[in-house]
Amino acid sequence: MVVLVTHVKIPALPFRICSDRRRRVSTARGLSLRAASQGCSWQFQRFTIPSLSFDDSTRKMLGACMPITLAVYLSHSLKLGLAKDIQVAVFRSAVQLLTLGLVLKFAFDGDGLVISACLVLFMVTIAGYTAGERAKMLPKSQLVATLSLIVGCIGMLAVMLTMKAFPVTPRFIIPTAGYVIGNSMSMVGGTLNRLYNDMRLHKGQIEAALALGASPYQAVHHHVENSIAQGMGPMVDSIKTAGLISLPGSMTGMLMGGSSPMEAVQMQMQVLYMVLGCAAVSCTISSFLGWQTMFSKTHQFLVD
């Protein structure tokens, strides 16, 4: 028995253009054969080939993940043991930044001054804890670092706001405070670490000076001054090269946001000089508080 194909219809493949991306998405028709009692015929069934489309934010995030993949690969191949730390750091930073974005959105939409004050105090507390961890051998290092940053950073911000150096709005207060506190945190941590190491290294000289009748400050003042100078050194070098080697963060953000170059330069100068003032105050306070934690009430040197 011979079965003849009575009718074959091949429709044209339709195309449509996506209006937002102007990409061609093709559709095809599937072919199915259906048996019938009086013969056979072809029946066509439509199906759509799915297409992958990414919006701008997805493409940007995928592009940002490529350096992370490279860093993890190098850690595995060179056996650096940093792969897990890199992954944890990336995950933590993503969660923290997303949370910060939600908080900032909430602060910017409303009045936000109370939220701004709470957020600045929270940042100072975390910065003090982190700076104290760098010199955890020093007694009460975290308390010393936190008090130093509160007086230096919050005090300097209050002075600048009183002078109306920038608008008293969350959009200016929070980013400026974050930049100032972050830089001061690094310098306070370096100051305390250098102070402890110098005093431990010169323990014999300090105890000899105490035995000869010197006061505790007379015995350690050289180390106190040296730790302040070493702690502030990186910031001074950074200000010297500002605009020559790299564009500072605030200026870069304003330029990318569409501000004029001169407005960006003016804001960056204000922020840099604020950081320098905060660093000077915070490093000085941390060093003067720090050396006192290494002496007992009877002026006995406590460093082993």
pLDDT (0 to 100) of residue 167: 80
Q: What is the DSSP letter of 295?
A: B
pLDDT (0 to 100) of residue 16: 42
Instruction: Give the percent of the chain with pLDDT over 70.
Output: 79
Mean pLDDT of 291-302: 86
Q: Are 170 and 231 contacting, i.e. CB atoms less than 8 angstroms apart?
A: no
The region of weakest confidence among 32-46, 87-101, 215-229 is 32-46
Mean pLDDT of 164-181: 84
**pLDDT greater than 80 at residue 175:** yes
pLDDT band at 188 (very low <50, low <70, confident <90, very high): very high
Cβ atoms within 10 A of the Cβ of 163, count? 8
Distance from the Cα of residue 258 to its chain's centroid: 22
Give the residue among 250, 248, 237 at the shortest CA–CA distance from 276: 237
Q: For residue range 66-115, what is the model confidence (pLDDT) as tens digits?
A: 888 898 899 888 888 888 899 999 999 989 888 888 888 887 776 677 88
Strand 24-36 and strand 15-17: the pairing is antiparallel
pLDDT (0 to 100) of residue 95: 92
Give the residue among 296, 129, 290 at the shortest CA–CA distance from 196: 290
Q: Which residue has the higher pLDDT, 60 or 219?
A: 219
pLDDT (0 to 100) of residue 47: 46
pLDDT (0 to 100) of residue 53: 55
